[in-house]
Amino acid sequence: MKVNDFQKYEVTLKIPYEDYFSLIYETKYLLEARLDPSRCFIANVAMYGNSRRKGVEKAVEWFQKEFKGVLGSAHKVMTVDDPFNEVSYDEDFACNDLGNKYLDDDTIQRVIFESDGDLCEEDPESESNHNNSLRRIKRRKKENIQLTSRLSQTPTGTIYYKMTEPVSRNGKRTKTTSVKLSSKSLEKALREVARRGLDKFEKFVGTSVGKKEKKPLSKKAA
């Protein structure tokens, strides 16, 4: 054990009755395993690491080396406790982070409560998802950043200009089009808008367009 691997994590294996005897057939023994009322053999093994993520990583490596596929995937039978409350919900919580997987039931219920409805437990019947893990109920949608009243930037950095132009001679009917810009900063985007003349109709919107102002008729002399 390394000097900085001072934190202890308890790994729990819950092995179905029939699968446990498959281990014996392969001459792999878990002497500490005990049969519980649900007819599953329960075994506990200690792992040490400087974080829960490291503890889980070592537990997975140990499981694969020890059982070599006899018990199937680790997430079907293995959990790792969270004695230091390292698994905690915030806006950046990553369900697929190794440090947030292989959760015991107490940790799952605590983090679901912390998420206030944002997380739920993975479907244990699904083959494509990990048991003993969490998932988001609703996928977070990344919104565009509004740079100005007409300029907005997508999460990937692309800037769009909301161009409004008249579709009637008197300018009372208009249409709005989002124009993609090549610029990646606000300063350059403003220059690009002016250079391309995308703002040429702004001052005309809502007023008469292309219509000359009529001069008042002078009264004829009596």
pLDDT of residue 81: 96
Can you give the pLDDT at residue 73? Answer: 87
Q: Which residue has the higher pLDDT, 40 or 208?
A: 40
151 near 96, Cβ under 8 Å? no
Are the beta carbons of 181 and 160 closer than 8 angstroms?
yes
- Residue 176 main-chain phi, psi, to 5 deg: -115, 135
Q: Please, are residues 33 and 13 in contact by the beta-carbon 8 Å criterion?
A: yes
Q: How many CB atoms are closer than 10 A to CB 188?
A: 13
Q: What is the DSSP string of 118-155?
A: SEEE--TT-SSS-TT-EEESSPPPPPPEE-SSSEEE-T
Reported as a single tens digit per residue, the pLDDT across 147-192 is 999 999 998 899 999 988 887 777 677 788 889 999 999 999 999 9
pLDDT at 128: 57
Mean pLDDT calculated for residue range 23-44: 79
pTM of the model: 0.59
Parse the chain into domains and list their residue ranges: 7-136, 145-196
> How much is the pLDDT for 209?
42
What is the model's pLDDT at position 160?
A: 93
pLDDT tens readout for residues 102-152? 999 999 999 999 998 889 998 766 655 677 889 888 766 678 899 999 999
pLDDT of residue 203: 66
Q: Worst-scoring range by mean pLDDT, 6-15, 98-107, 140-149, 211-220?
A: 211-220
Within 10 angstroms of residue 153's Cβ, the number of other Cβ atoms is 19
What pLDDT score does 106 carry?
94
Residues 6+ positions from 176 with CB-CB distance below 8 Å: 162, 163, 164
Top-confidence residue, 10 or 132: 10
Q: Which pLDDT tens digit goes with each residue over 80-104?
A: 999 999 999 988 899 989 999 999 9
Q: Which residues touch 129 (CB under 8 Å, ≥6 apart)?
A: 122, 123, 135
> What is the enclosing helix (H) or strand (E) of 45?
strand 40-49
Q: What is the pLDDT of residue 196?
A: 92
- Per residue in 51-91, pLDDT tens? 999 999 999 999 999 888 888 889 889 999 999 999 999 88
pLDDT at 211 over 50: no
Question: Is the pLDDT reported for residue 221 higher than 80?
Answer: no
Q: Rounded to an integer, what distance in angstroms lies between the CA atom of residue 55 and that of residue 58?
A: 5
Query: Which SS3 state, helix, strand or coil, does residue 25 take?
Result: helix
Specify the 3-state DSSP secondary structure of 30. Answer: coil
- Which amino acid appears at position 50 of this protein? N
